[in-house]
């Protein structure tokens, strides 16, 4: 029996595995699908800016077990595309060698941590342990000695993640400070090296975002970055010192370092170039999906590092590895029309359409949509093989 190996248990990996099982069943053929991932859960990364981040996960065994996907709990260290083998390190340190006929790399992305003096005191919300440590820190703020920056948070990076955590902090920090009668001390400051908020969002939604930040009294320090930090304050590149017990770093995502082990072309984020069938260009039997890959989206744009693209890329990659093995028809990747939904905390949310990000919905209506996306749409069904496989065959998120 032919072996399909999926590296990564995130959105792209889970849907690659489910997509492969579905396509094999549809073709009446047999393949063995193995998913290797460091953790036991699929982490719902887009929700890590919310409260209780430790609950933002789904058991991989409850999703993939019922459809017969073998799961290996190990961290991949080497990929040999000539030999068609992958080396991984298991939980107890044992080395495992896994062979494949077709490989799907879906190992995601990671935040580039800063390196300025004091950077070790900076929080991030990129992974579940990091978001949990941040949540724990916030909850312990009332136990700190009263100081000018006790309830001040500096958020570095004014992109999607920075905006979501900054606006969420207006509520999260206030709830914590209010319980101590210190609600008025809450201060949230955003810092970005660009001269505008949401540099990658473009000018379309900016007036609404700027208006929201004004409404929420979120301060901005633009055209600047952080020079150093301590557990008590942050010094910016122009010398301003902001007393702050909390700094959150959100700037700079790159593809998994495993992409460097595949001899393909990469973009500035380290993502592997893939063709319309999500095959890594020039590397036989290797596919890539989600944040590790850059594919052509519509209107001459590239895919973004987002769930919106990772989910369907996984489904298409899973379908296409099986088509490749069983000789059935592959499907060219066709994403839904581009849209975004940005949470703005107590000010609702913002929905945009198209690559120029035309504002389509704001306020409570947009917030209701964001809630549906976060609590329903991005979760794979658990303990329900039929529903999972039916969903794996729906290539559109709409
Ligand atoms: C705070 C935050 C908010 C976000 N908000 C949004 C949003 O609103 N909308 C949106 O569309 N996107 C959002 N994103 C981005 C989104 O989460 C990612 O684009 C998405 O998770 C990518 O899916 P993926 O499967 O490619 O990678 P990931 O979800 O990162 O999954 C990668 C998987 O690979 C595994 N892995 C990594 N390295 C190895 C290894 N060496 N060996 C074995 N396994 C490995 C990991 O454990 C993980 O299971 C947000 C991200 C963050 C951090």
Indicate which CATH number applies to the domain containing 388: 3.50.50.60
pLDDT of residue 264: 87
pLDDT of residue 298: 92
Atom of ligand 1 nearest to the CA of 290: 26
Q: Is 186 exposed, middle or buried (0-12, 13-18, 19+ CB in 10 A)?
A: buried
pLDDT of residue 396: 86
pLDDT of residue 186: 97
The domain total for the chain is 2
pLDDT of residue 397: 73
One domain, residues 186 and 317? no
Whole-number Å distance between alpha carbons of 94 and 82 = 23
- Domain of 127 in residue numbering reads as 114-249
One domain, residues 119 and 95? no
Specify whether the backbone of 65 is left (phi greater than 0), alpha (psi in -120 to 50) or beta: alpha
One domain, residues 14 and 100? yes
One domain, residues 222 and 258? no
Does residue 90's CB lie within 6 angstroms of at least one atom of ligand 1? no
Ligand 1 center–CA 392 separation, angstroms: 19
Ligand 1 center–CA 39 separation, angstroms: 13
pLDDT of residue 114: 96
pLDDT of residue 360: 97
Does residue 290's CB lie within 6 angstroms of at least one atom of ligand 1? yes
Does residue 12's CB lie within 6 angstroms of at least one atom of ligand 1? yes
pLDDT of residue 225: 96
pLDDT of residue 65: 98
One domain, residues 144 and 221? yes
Does residue 8's CB lie within 6 angstroms of at least one atom of ligand 1? yes
Q: Which residues of 28-47 are buried (b: 16+ CB within 10 A; e: fewer)?
A: eeebbbbbbbeeebbbbbbb
Quote the DSSP letter at residue 238: T
In a domain, residue 360? The reply is: no
Atom of ligand 1 nearest to the CA of 250: 1
Among candidate residues 231, 249, 267, the one where a domain is terminated: 249
Q: In this structure, how many other beta carbons lie within 10 angstroms of the beta carbon of residue 151?
A: 28
Report residues of the chain scoring pLDDT below 50. Answer: none
Ligand 1 center–CA 116 separation, angstroms: 25
pLDDT of residue 27: 97
In a domain, residue 305? The reply is: yes
pLDDT of residue 398: 73
């Amino acid at each position: 029996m032919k072996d399909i190996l999926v590296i990564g248990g995130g959105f792209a990996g889970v849907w690659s595995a489910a997509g492969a099982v579905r396509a094999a069943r549809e073709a009446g053929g047999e393949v063995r699908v193995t998913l290797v991932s460091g953790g036991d859960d699929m982490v719902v990364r887009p929700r890590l800016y919310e409260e209780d981040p430790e609950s933002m996960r789904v058991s991989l065994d409850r999703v993939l077990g019922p459809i017969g996907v073998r799961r290996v709990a190990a961290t991949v260290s080497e990929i040999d595309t000539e030999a068609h083998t992958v080396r991984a390190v298991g939980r107890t340190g044992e080395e495992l060698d896994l062979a494949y006929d077709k490989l799907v790399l879906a190992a995601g992305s990671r935040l580039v941590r800063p390196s300025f003096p004091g950077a070790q005191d900076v929080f991030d919300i990129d992974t579940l342990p990091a978001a949990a440590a941040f949540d724990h820190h916030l909850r312990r703020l009332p136990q700190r000695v009263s100081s000018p920056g006790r309830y001040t948070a500096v958020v570095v990076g004014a992109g999607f993640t920075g905006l979501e955590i900054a606006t969420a902090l207006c509520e999260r920090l206030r709830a914590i400070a209010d319980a101590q009668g210190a609600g008025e001390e809450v201060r949230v400051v955003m810092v970005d090296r660009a001269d505008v908020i949401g540099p990658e969002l473009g000018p379309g939604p900016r007036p609404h975002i700027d208006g929201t930040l004004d409404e929420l009294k979120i301060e901005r320090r633009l055209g600047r970055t952080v020079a150093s930090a301590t557990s008590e304050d942050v010094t910016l590149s122009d010398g301003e010192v902001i007393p702050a017990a909390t700094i959150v770093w959100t700037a700079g995502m790159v593809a998994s370092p495993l992409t460097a082990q595949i001899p393909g072309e990469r973009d500035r984020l380290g993502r592997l170039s893939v063709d319309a069938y999500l095959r890594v260009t020039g590397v036989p039997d290797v596919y890539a999906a989600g944040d590790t890959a850059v594919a052509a989206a519509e209107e001459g744009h590239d895919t973004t590092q987002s769930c919106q693209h990772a989910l369907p890329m996984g489904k298409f990659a899973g379908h296409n590895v099986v088509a490749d093995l069983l000789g059935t028809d592959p499907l060219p990747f066709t994403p839904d029309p581009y849209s975004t939904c940005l949470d703005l905390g107590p000010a609702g949310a913002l929905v945009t359409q198209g690559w120029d990000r035309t504002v389509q919905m704001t306020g409570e209506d947009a917030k209701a949509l964001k809630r549906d996306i976060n609590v329903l749409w991005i979760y794979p069904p658990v303990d329900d093989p039929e529903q999972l496989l039916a969903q794996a065959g729906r290539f559109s998120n709409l």
